[in-house]
Chains A and B, each alone.
Chain A
Amino acid sequence: MNIFLILGMGVGVGVLSGIFGVGGGFLLTPLLFFIGVPSPVAVGTQAGQIVATSVSGVMAHWRRGNVDFKMGTVLLIGGIVGSTFGVWLFALLRTLGQIDLVIKLSYVIFLGVIGALMLIESIKAMMRTKSGKAGTGRKLHEHNWLHGLPFKMRFRRSQLYISAFLPLAIGFLVGVLSAIMGVGGGFVMVPAMIYLLGMPTSVVVGTSLFQIIFVAANATFLQSYLNQTVDIVLALLLLIGSVIGAQFGTRLGAKLRGEHLRGLLAAMVLAVGIKIMLDLIIPPSDIYSLSFSSGVGH
């Protein structure tokens, strides 16, 4: 495999993550599929890369006091259980020969849904700016049936008093996703924290990153231990590229308008989702494929 292609991909995704403020895992993993990295290896390796980017991200947020450690810990407990379950599910699906399909289908679904939602939101925002109306302010958090659940806990920094089941369940779901899709899960976690938990936006990113470190570290360890699908060298190359790329991206992002940015990102997310979907729908050139018992290097 070409080292410069991998470095270049890291830079490309780094630029995007700098511009849009996303981890980039959900774009990098599909890119690894496209250049022919087997999807289990892409997913396992990506988990390692997420550990690195989250550590660097959380440091920056911690200095500004934007990490709710208590909330992070509760999310984390759910996340560890979730990612352990996810890796186990991953190993099971692999022996059934369906892991490739499940990984790709999850991508199609999540990229499709999130891309569509973002596109709709940014089009609405663009129309609002055109008609000259200011964006309507959202309430700090809305109360719904989810806040009626038992086992309540107080989260001071997030200014919340809610049932611990809620963050546990969200943590579990994101943990499963992170193991199966090789993503940090920030793109699911962040909206869930804002809309379902009602956390203030300022602490959301730091807290989400804090728990992602441990969930991704757990996924990295288990993927390596159970499935041997972590390639440290590949992860490091991607990381070097993305750190450099993020520098350029942050500067570029400052020059672009917010809703245009989100529109662009939404279009890109949808495009990647559609590409993966086409791969599943278009008849393959050979309907037979081989998988080798481990022990023979390929």
Chain B
Amino acid sequence: MASGTDGSMISISRLSPLVLTTAIFLGIIAPRNAQAEPLIADLSDHLVAITTGFTGTELLLFGSIEEDGDVIVVVHGPPTDVTVRRKERIAGIWMNRDSMTFEETPSFYHVAMTQGATEGLPLPVLHRHQIGAQNIRMIAPQGEDPVEIENFRSSLIRNQQAHGLYSAVPGTIQKRGQRLFRTSVYFPANVPIGTYVIETLLARNGEIQSGQTTPLFVSKVGAGAQIFRIANTFPALHGILAIIVAMAAGFAANWVFRKLG
């Protein structure tokens, strides 16, 4: 599935996307690589840096295909365990009752495709490549009623879509001529941190002909991130720091009061 071009893709990505796209247009890079590779794709940036004022960002994914075909892009966030809880009305109050934990669910999911890309693809293929939110893979709890599992599973997907973490409708991939394609992927402000995997697939004649995976790193940077890291790695130290900061703030406030009063 994964082609061996990841390394070279990352080094190419250091060039600005504009330069690279122009290069592909002018045929400087494409012909040589395209001989060996039926599909080449890359991102405008391999790092999403979340600063304190981060409000979401958009990345450009672009590439070229050797022969005519449909392109599908699937973005997976780092896997995580999610507990889905269902509220029930008990004595007039809505409280959590039943719950189910799904393991290895993608913390972020996005799919984009050229128009009508999935039309010729059989269901098992869609399922295998997790194309479309209903085909996202996750480990359901053992020994539960399948109807209930489906209820909780679809609620998980619905909630994630409501938070903007799973795409509700597939994004579109635009094609330029027969060879070039591009699409933009939006990462919202609440995007989970970690290592993402972006799969670019080439579909033709009802099957996936080739694919390429590209990594993407989403990480927090800046003072806020330092605090977040300390809080999670050294919780005791963070607790003591929090108290010291709070006490200092209290003394400072008292000093200000006395000066003003």
Name which of A75-83, A158-166, A229-237, A267-275 contacts chain B: A229-237
Residue B209 at the A interface, CB < 8 A?
no
**Across the interface, do B159 and A289 meet the contact criterion of CB distance under 8 Å?**
yes
**Across the interface, do A247 and B80 meet the contact criterion of CB distance under 8 Å?**
no
Q: How far is the CA of A283 from the CA of B88 in the complex (A)?
A: 9
Q: How far is the CA of A169 from the CA of B106 in the complex (A)?
A: 48
Interface centre among B89, B152, B245 (most CB of A within 10 A): B245
Q: How far is the CA of A153 from the CA of B93 in the complex (A)?
A: 45
Closest approach, in angstroms, between the C-beta of A205 and any C-beta of chain B?
15
On chain B, the residues within 8 Å of A225 by CB distance are 235-236, 238-239
Beyond A97-B99, A297-B192, whether A230 also contacts B242 by CB under 8 A is yes
**Across the interface, do A288 and B155 meet the contact criterion of CB distance under 8 Å?**
yes
Q: How far is the CA of A233 from the CA of B238 in the complex (A)?
A: 12
Beyond A217-B243, A228-B231, A235-B246, whether A288 also contacts B254 by CB under 8 A is no
Q: How far is the CA of A291 from the CA of B83 in the complex (A)?
A: 5
Residue B162 at the A interface, CB < 8 A?
yes
On chain A, the residues within 8 Å of B238 by CB distance are 224-225, 228, 230, 232
Q: How many A-B residue pairs have CB under 8 A?
A: 164
- Interface 1/0s, chain A 36-67, versus B by CB < 8 A? 00000000000011011111100110000000
Q: How far is the CA of A222 from the CA of B236 in the complex (A)?
A: 8
On chain A, the residues within 8 Å of B64 by CB distance are none
Interface centre among B89, B193, B242 (most CB of A within 10 A): B242
On chain B, the residues within 8 Å of A293 by CB distance are 80-83
**Across the interface, do A288 and B158 meet the contact criterion of CB distance under 8 Å?**
yes
Residue A280 at the B interface, CB < 8 A?
yes
Among B95, B159, B232, B251, point to the contact of A290 (Cβ < 8 A): B159
**Across the interface, do A59 and B93 meet the contact criterion of CB distance under 8 Å?**
no
Closest approach, in angstroms, between the C-beta of B51 and any C-beta of chain A?
13
- CB contacts under 8 Å to B, within A203-236, are 217, 220-226, 228, 230, 232-233, 235-236
Q: How far is the CA of A192 from the CA of B113 in the complex (A)?
A: 66
- Interface 1/0s, chain B 144-168, versus A by CB < 8 A? 0000000010011011101000000
CB-nearest residue of chain B relative to A240? B249
**Across the interface, do B243 and A296 meet the contact criterion of CB distance under 8 Å?**
no
Q: How far is the CA of A41 from the CA of B228 in the complex (A)?
A: 13
- CB contacts under 8 Å to B, within A170-224, are 217, 220-224
Residue A243 at the B interface, CB < 8 A?
yes
CB-nearest residue of chain B relative to A55? B250
**Across the interface, do A295 and B250 meet the contact criterion of CB distance under 8 Å?**
no
Interface centre among A284, A293, A296 (most CB of B within 10 A): A296
Among A97, A235, A292, A297, point to the contact of B220 (Cβ < 8 A): A297
Closest approach, in angstroms, between the C-beta of B256 and any C-beta of chain A?
7
On chain B, the residues within 8 Å of A280 by CB distance are 93-95
Residue A286 at the B interface, CB < 8 A?
yes
**Across the interface, do B192 and A59 meet the contact criterion of CB distance under 8 Å?**
no
Interface of B is mostly: helix
Closest approach, in angstroms, between the C-beta of B146 and any C-beta of chain A?
17
Beyond A224-B231, A295-B80, whether A287 also contacts B249 by CB under 8 A is no
Closest approach, in angstroms, between the C-beta of B250 and any C-beta of chain A?
3
Closest approach, in angstroms, between the C-beta of A102 and any C-beta of chain B?
10
Q: How far is the CA of A287 from the CA of B99 in the complex (A)?
A: 11
- CB contacts under 8 Å to A, within B184-234, are 190, 192-194, 220, 224, 227-228, 231-232
Q: How far is the CA of A273 from the CA of B193 in the complex (A)?
A: 36
On chain B, the residues within 8 Å of A254 by CB distance are none
Closest approach, in angstroms, between the C-beta of B170 and any C-beta of chain A?
22
Q: How far is the CA of A264 from the CA of B131 in the complex (A)?
A: 58
Residue A101 at the B interface, CB < 8 A?
yes
Among B83, B190, B232, B260, point to the contact of A298 (Cβ < 8 A): B190
On chain A, the residues within 8 Å of B118 by CB distance are none
On chain A, the residues within 8 Å of B99 by CB distance are 97
On chain A, the residues within 8 Å of B85 by CB distance are 97, 288-291
17 new A-B contacts, CB < 8 A, other than A105-B93, A235-B246, A294-B232, are A52-B249, A55-B247, A55-B249, A59-B251, A98-B95, A221-B240, A224-B238, A225-B235, A225-B236, A225-B238, A225-B239, A236-B245, A247-B260, A281-B94, A293-B80, A293-B83, A297-B228
Return the 4 tightest CB-CB contacts between A and B, nearest first. A55-B250, A224-B239, A288-B155, A51-B246
Complex A-B: 29 CB contacts under 8 Å: A48-B245, A49-B246, A51-B246, A51-B250, A55-B246, A55-B251, A56-B251, A60-B257, A97-B85, A105-B93, A217-B247, A221-B236, A221-B243, A224-B238, A225-B236, A226-B235, A233-B224, A235-B242, A235-B246, A236-B249, A280-B93, A281-B92, A284-B87, A286-B158, A287-B88, A288-B152, A292-B82, A292-B107, A298-B192
